[in-house]
Each structure stands twice: as structure tokens, then as C-alpha cells.
Chains A and B, each alone.
Chain A
Amino acid sequence: MKPGRYMGQSVPRLEDAKLLTGRALFVDDVQLPGMLHAAFLRSDDAHGILRSIDASAARERAGVVAVYTAQDLGDYWRPGPLLVPPPPITGLVFNAATQVPLARDKVRHGGEALAMVVAESRYIAEDALEDIVVELEPLAAVTDLEAALRPGASLVHEQFGTNLAAHVHQSKGDYAGARAAAALVVARRFRYDRGASAAIENRGIVAEWDARAEQLTVWDTTQAPIPIRNGLAAMLGLGESQVRVIAPFIGGGFGPKIMMFYPEEVLLPWAAMRLGRPLKWIEDRRENFYATTQERLQIHDAELAVAQDGRILGVKDTFLHDTGAYDPYGLTVPINSQCTLLGPYVVPNYDSEFTAVFTNTPIVTPVRGAGRQHGVFVMERLLDFAARELGIDRVEIRRRNLIPPDAFPYDHEILFQDFRPLVYDSGNYPAALHKAVEMIGYEAFIRSEQPRLRRAGRRAGIGVVSYIEGTGIGPYEGARVTVEPSGLVRVATGVGTQGQGHFTTFAQLVAEQLGVEVDRVRVVTGDTREFHWGTGTFASRGAVVAGNACHAAALKVRDKIIALAARLLEAEPGQVVVEGGSACVRGAPDRSFTLGELARRANPLRGAVTPGTEPGLEATAYFGPDRGNAASGVHAMIVEVDPDTAAVEIKRYVVVHDCGVVINPVVVEAQVQGGVAHGIGNAFYEQLIFDDNGQLMNASFMDYLLPTALDVPTVEMAHLETPSPLNPLGTKGVGEAGAIPTGALFAQAVEDALSGTGVEITEIPLSPNRLFELITQAKGAAA
């Protein structure tokens, strides 16, 4: 898709005015007459047998309307759905255990919900939580991934007889043969820990049951309102059309606001129906650290076999993946790690297996990047170590291994998270690497700047890493485009939106085809009454899948406009020009109709139409790609490390990225910048720290450190565009890109700054304290 009036233009966002003036509706802004408020009692213990819950005192407190425990739910108590079944990989083992609405016999992670209090205000509901007495027999908690798999370990789910949640082996070629032929094999153990999504808006639900209309309305901070609607209808015994789920403005998603069927999501509508009053629950920040899913640790034992010239002969990787107490999201995260490790490189032989492990910690599901970081970290670090041992420059070893631009589609011969083969559709990796190296001034830094600073007693380092992100996966999304008699164009699509600019980018796509001003296009997302087919916003797929659906629907409407205008203007369809909010005959601007007038005429109230005519200027279209496409990029960074205090300062950060055809450059750049900030958080600030007993030691913003404006530099950016052949627009996803290679980059740059000290970095996140320990250890080893 070529740049046009709107396509490829940095159109300022249409949704901003509401957000800037405080008029945008977020879930917590929903106020309904007679509304009650819920609060949840959550387990202090990470693992234990639940003996009893005595809520009698809470029920008697003035202002308390109801208290529910698992016992009170009756038949409604059932484990949640398995959201993502395992892909069809031979020999795959998967033990499914999905979360429960309220713990019944056993508590499996700290913060697991035990009871729900409903009261006249949230203040009273929280008072009542303190009245509830829980009797729980503690069990040893499982937190260490290796210890969890040893015989005799305490079991998170007794029915499996093991804490193994899954085992998956994928391979291509003959790694053993490659290893035997290698000039060098570098092997390391890597730890990559990740944190919370930490959207500034916590989750929230408001549920209202209209008994006379028999309609349930649920406002939900979900990224996927349609699956939630359908699931809730099934659980509550309602027809799908009786349930309306609205995901209004959402204050950031980053993965965990997906269709989880969280306990609160399932319980609020149920209780609102029973009580006959609207009910609100807004997650507070402390709850968010337990009740919202997270990402966490993987431990990789990996090795890279290379030829003397640095060419990759093969990679072998065996890793453990922490899935938390339940695994409703299947294997998406570890399979992403497994696939993304291959990066933009030719890896002829690959042998990868992982074991997912149940632990007594909150549930792990995708968070921006979704396991891709882990894979990139392992591969990029292995290349760094191989380069050092072979005496090859770090950039050069990458250059020698990149998939060449003429090799697409490139088949990696393993299966991706969308159950389709991991085949890259398009890309130009050498160009991206070249551009990034040039922008950061790699050669000059290595040759003169770094030595000059070193002579002045300063330690600066540089890093350059590459990555691929599988984006824009199926199955499908849809959109309906309607031209109204007012001339306004309405677009409805099912995906939720959490700040990505969909109200603008989708409007651009439609405005481009219908020849109207972009601010005449009003986009509605995330309201199942407006559109009820689709899945949701995740896996960097909004612009790709829903974007192409909007585009397709706009094309259909354009055809209708042309057909109708041609008939009314007595012209050939080929002669009709659609622009400036009108359709006219080419060369005869006075022979025209405004789109609004056409819309009116397309909906006659008297007379007859040609049989088969569809009323209105409206069309619905769907788009489902054959498989995910491959966005890519190169990040480069210069840091300075103070070896005495272990403080790290980012001096420059460069990103060259390729997300195919760009709809709105400013929106894309902002997505990348935001992703980099998230990645910097992951690399140096954010870590969920559990002790051996499964106690989270930093469940607040005091101790869980989000980077601030002083910690994130302005990224210098360049776009490369290799259009994806897998969709008509040629777009690829970009939502997660910025966050993916940052850990690997940080490790490389910091290690470079500390070169000569013997510090080797094989773990993320780092922190000043951890760096101090590594520096101290290296000194000890040298002494």
C-alpha cells in the first residue's frame, strides 16, 4: 500500500481531545444508580490447604450486602476455560490446569482470591475483608524451577503427580552433527526474568443486569471483549445477544488484559444478576501484583556451534519456563521464546526443548513481547560470546549470519504459536543492521570514542542486537463501515484498544478509500453491540488484522458508492471519482453527489429497488492472514557505567525497525519508544521478587520500579519498509517490538563498558546491586 492522502501520514490522533480533557470513559468512570462495590479477600499464603473461611462477622457489618466464598457459588464454581490449547507438535505433553473463581480446597499462589465482599462502598467492603477469618494449613511452596521437578517436591496440582506443566521438543536438521563439525561451541546458562505489565490503569469490571430487558451489560478492561461476551453468555446460561461487553477507553493493556476470564470477570456479572443491582470492582495496585497475570523466569542451558569464520552451524537450547500456578494460556510464551531465538539468522540445525513448570506464584501469560525477549537474549548473548572467542567483531558475526534479502519466504521448519509453520514472509536484515550501525556511529565509537573515554577513566560501552518479532497472527478480525446520511463515516471493529491509536489509524485507512476527511470517520472499537465477530488485541495484530479488515470493508463500501453514483449520474463506474466527501464524474465536478446524499438514496423509504440490492452504504469485511508475519529490527545503545557505584547511564539509543508498510509514522514511532521504555524497565528496573515461600516482596510501586522520565532516553529512530505479502496493506505489527531486544542489548553494552574486568552477563534483569555483585565476583576470580 503506497502512501496517500492519509495512508502513511502522521495524522494527529482523533481520540486525544476526549483524553486530554478528562471526558474519555474508562471502566472506573462508569457510575450507575444503586451501584454496589466489591472487594476480594486474597490469600496471604502461597500454598496451603484451605480448612475454613468464616465470613459471619463480615456479613453482619453495616453496609455489607453479601459475602461469597467458593461454597456459595454452587454450580457456578468451575475452573476457567483453556484459552489457548497446545499446538499440534509431535510428542508434546501438556497438563492443563486453569484458574478457579475462588479457591475452594487449596490455595496455589499468594493473592489467590478466597472470598468476595459486596458492600455499599469500596471502603466498607475493605473494612469487611478484615472481619473474615481464614483457617489455612500451610504447605511448602514451590518456587524454584529445578527443585519443583525433583522427586518429592511439594505439588501445586496433585492430580498430575508432578509439577511439570508441559514438555515440548522442536528441532530441525542435525544438531549433533553440526556440533561435531564446529570450530567452537559456546555454552552458557542464562536466566531471564520478566515482570508485571503494570498498566497505569488497573483492571476493573462493572456489571449491570437489566431484569426486564434480560440484558447483561459488562464494562471490562479487556483487550478482547467479544470472547468475553461469548464466554460469559455460556457460563451464565444467556444467549450471546443478551450480553453486551464494552471495553471503553482502556488505560494500557500490554497483554494481561486479554480474555482471561479472571475470577473477578466471571464473578461480578454473576453477583450483579443475583443481587439485582449494578456492581463494580476496581483492582487496586496491590491486588494487581497478584490478581493480574505476569511474565517471569526462564532458565536456558544453551549452546551455539559455529565455524571458524563465525557462521552458525547450530543451536541447542533446553529451558525451563515458569508458568505460575495455572496455565490457562497454554504454551504461547515458551513457544514464542523457542521460535524467536532463531532471530534473523540462518540456523541450519536447531534443537530446542522446554519444560514448563507449575509454581506457587501468580499465573504467567503474555506481557508485551511474550517470551520473545528470552529467546532473543539467549541467541544474541551466544553470538557475543562466540565473537569474542573467535576474535570477530560483534556486528560482523551478525552480518555473516543474516538471512539474505532474497531468501524469502524463509522457512525455519518449526511451528509458531499460531500453529502455523515459522516461515518469515519478508525482510531486509542486512540493510537494517547497516543503518543502525551507521546511526549509532559504531565504528567511530569502538575506534576512538571508547578508548578516549577509557583513558579519562570512564567506562562506556556499545551494543548492537537484532531481533525478529512474529506479529499479526490470525485467526481473523472484522469491521463494518457505514456511510451515514450526515456524511459521517462510522467504523466498527471488535478489537479492544488500549492507547494504540486505533481510532485514528483505522479512520485513516477508511478515509483513504472513501475520500473523506479523516475527522469525518468515527471509529468504535470494543463494544460487542457494535460488532461481535473477532478475537482481540494481542500479539501485535491490531493494525495488521483489524486494519486490513477495515481496509477491506472500506473497499466494499467504495464499490457500493461507485455503483450507486454511476447509476444515479448515468456514468460508467470507471468514470466515477470518489473524493472530497463526494462522488462525481471524472472531469465533470458538477455531476456529483455527496456521500451523505448517496447514503440517503441508498436507503429509500418508498418505491422499489432492484431485487438483490443491499440497503445503505455499508459493508462488513473480514481479514484472516494465512499466518503471522515477521517484523524485525536492530537496536543499538551506548551506555556509561560507573564501576564504583554500579550506576548505569544510557547515553544513546537507536532503533531501526521494519514493520512493513506504516499507516501512521508518529503512532508507530511512539509504539517503539514506549516498547523500549518497557524493555529498559525489564532490563534494569523491574523484577517481581518472590522469596522461597512464594511471597512477593515488592507488591507496590515503591519497590516495583517502573522507569520514569529520567530513566528513558529519547530513541533515535529509522523506518525500513519491506511490505508483508501476507496482507493487502503490507503491514506488520509493532506493538511489542521496542520491548523485545532491550535486555540483550543492555547486557551487551554494559558488558562492553566493563570489558577487561571479567564481568560476563548471562542474566536479566540487572540492577546496580546485581552489577556490583558481578563486578565483585569478577574481581575475586581475577585475584
Chain B
Amino acid sequence: MSQAVSEFLRMLPFLVAAWLFVVGLYGIVTSRHLVHLIMCLVVVQTSTYLLLLGVGYKIGAAAPIFADIPVGTPAVDPVTHALMLTDIVVEATVMALLLALAIQAEERAGSVDPEQLRIMRG
């Protein structure tokens, strides 16, 4: 039983990551509201967290904090954590920029529906 589960788990975070990436893109493509679109973009970004988290994880290892555990104890990869931290802060700020653009779109173009924001055609 646990064998089967662990075989399934071997690929699980990566499959979920791929799924979230594509589903987020689907949300963006079919979105009718800029704020909805931005939240779908957040979902796309979380896909990269899952990928990095899965890549850096070690079975049975501790968190990479050597305050309470001696050096040499197996610990998960701190580099991917640092990359994710970077990623999270980037996410928040880029989304803020996009939300600000959405507010301005309503203000200047009178709509937040991508269908109506097509001044840039041709």
C-alpha cells in the first residue's frame, strides 16, 4: 500500500505543477475580467513553487536550520527555498503592478473586460 502511494507521490508534485500551469493559462485565455485574469496568473506562478519545492525535497530530511540539529544531519535543499522566497516577493510586486494597471484600465478605457480593451488591434 505504502509502496504504491510512494510511487504515485514520486511524480505527484510535478504533475500538479504542470496541471496548474496549464489550468492557469486556460483561465487567462478565457478570462472576461482583468482581476480574474491576474489571479489566474498567480495560479500559474504557484506552479513554479511546486516544481522547485519538489525538486529540492529529500525524503526524511530536516529543514535546513542547524540551530537545533547538528551539522551533517540530512537536510533539504536550502537553495530552492531561497529561490522560492525570491519568487514569492517578485510575485506580490508584479501582481501589484498589474492590479494598478487594471485600475487604470477601468479609469481610462472604462472597462476591465479584455474583450473591450482592444484598442491595440491591427
Tell whether A and B belong to one assembly.
Answer: no
Chain A positions near chain B (C-beta within 8 angstroms):
none
Hey, which bits of chain B sit against chain A, CB under 8 A? Answer: none
